[in-house]
Amino acid sequence: MANLLYKDHLITVVARTDEISTFWIPMVDISWDTDGQRKSHTITDGDWFNTWQDSERQMIKLAKAWIDSRVTNYLQLVSPQNP
């Protein structure tokens, strides 16, 4: 399990092994505070991985991309538009 803070968002990655195939099945939870309330978003990837390290790396990459998109969209909403 990995936990890291990225742009004021807590990323928590969890991976479990499938008992039959022995592949790693990952998921990530992204949480943040908005106006004193905790918000979260969960991402599951349809891919299974041979190692927990590969699954963790992929989910951190997906989480950071989701956060970057969210932050960019937010900044576009609150920033004045250039003519």
CATH of the domain at 9: 3.30.160.350
DSSP designation for 8: T
47 in any annotated domain? yes
Is 29 domain-assigned?
A: yes
- What's the mean pLDDT in 6-30? 93
For residue 16, the enclosing domain spans: 2-74
By the 10 Å C-beta count (0-12 exposed, 13-18 middle, 19+ buried), 38 is classed as exposed
Give domain status of residue 16, yes or no: yes
In a domain, 58, yes or no: yes
Range with the largest mean pLDDT of 41-45, 68-72, 79-83 = 41-45
What's the token pair of residue 5?
């803070």
Domain-located, residue 81? no
Between CA 56 and CA 62 the distance in angstroms is 10
Give me the pLDDT at residue 74, please.
64
Q: Which of 45, 56, 13, 17 is nearest to 31 (CA)?
A: 13
Does residue 61 carry a pLDDT above 80? yes
Both tokens assigned to 39: 């918000």
Answer whether residue 80 is part of any domain: no
Reference 30, options 16, 43, 17, 41; nearest CA is 41
Q: pTM (2 decimals)?
A: 0.80
Q: How many domains does the chain have?
A: 1
* CA contacts within 13 A on the Cβ side of 67: 21
